[in-house]
C-alpha cells in the first residue's frame, strides 16, 4: 500500500483515479489506512463478490489456513467471511469511456502489479 501511496500523486497528476478494492472489513481497512496515511479510496468487496465476478477469487487451502492462523491472520475474522476467499492481486486501467485498457493479474500473490508500471502505462495512454 505504501508503494501505491507513493505513486498516487503521479496517477492523479495524469488525470487518473486510483481505487483499491479489498475483501477486508471496512473498520480494519480504515485503521490500516490511517496508520499508513493512505489518501486514496479503498472499497470493501464484501464476500469477494467483485473478485469473483472478475474471475479473480480463490479459496485458501486448508494447509495454508493453518499457516495463516499460526501467524495470527484469521481471514474469516478480518474479512467478515468464513469462506477464506482471497482475491488474486490485479490492476485494471479503465479509460474515461469505461474501456479496459490494461489488466495485470497474477495468481502468485507475491508478484503484485508494480505501481510505477501503472504510472508508465498511464503516461503512454495520455500521450497517445
Q: What is the largest CA-CA distance in the chain?
A: 49
pLDDT attached to residue 32: 95
Tens place of pLDDT per residue across the chain (128 aa): 899 999 999 999 999 999 999 999 999 999 999 999 999 999 999 999 999 999 999 998 999 999 989 999 889 899 999 999 999 999 999 998 999 999 999 988 788 889 999 999 999 999 98
All domains of the chain, ordered by start, with CATH?
A: 2-127 (3.40.30.10)
pLDDT attached to residue 109: 79
Predicted TM-score (pTM) of this structure: 0.87
Amino acid at each position: 500500500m505504501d508503494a501505491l501511496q507513493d505513486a498516487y500523486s503521479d496517477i492523479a497528476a495524469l488525470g487518473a483515479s486510483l481505487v483499491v478494492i479489498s475483501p477486508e472489513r471496512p473498520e480494519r481497512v480504515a485503521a490500516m489506512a490511517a496508520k499508513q496515511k493512505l489518501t486514496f479510496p479503498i472499497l470493501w468487496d464484501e464476500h469477494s463478490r467483485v473478485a469473483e465476478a472478475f474471475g479473480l477469487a480463490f479459496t485458501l487451502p486448508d494447509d495454508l489456513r493453518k499457516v495463516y492462523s499460526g501467524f495470527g491472520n484469521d481471514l474469516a475474522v478480518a474479512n467478515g467471511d468464513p469462506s477464506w476467499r482471497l482475491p488474486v492481486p490485479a490492476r485494471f486501467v479503465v479509460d474515461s469511456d469505461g474501456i479496459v485498457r490494461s489488466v495485470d493479474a497474477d495468481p502468485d500473490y507475491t508478484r503484485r502489479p508494480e505501481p510505477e508500471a501503472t504510472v508508465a502505462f498511464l503516461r503512454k495512454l495520455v500521450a497517445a
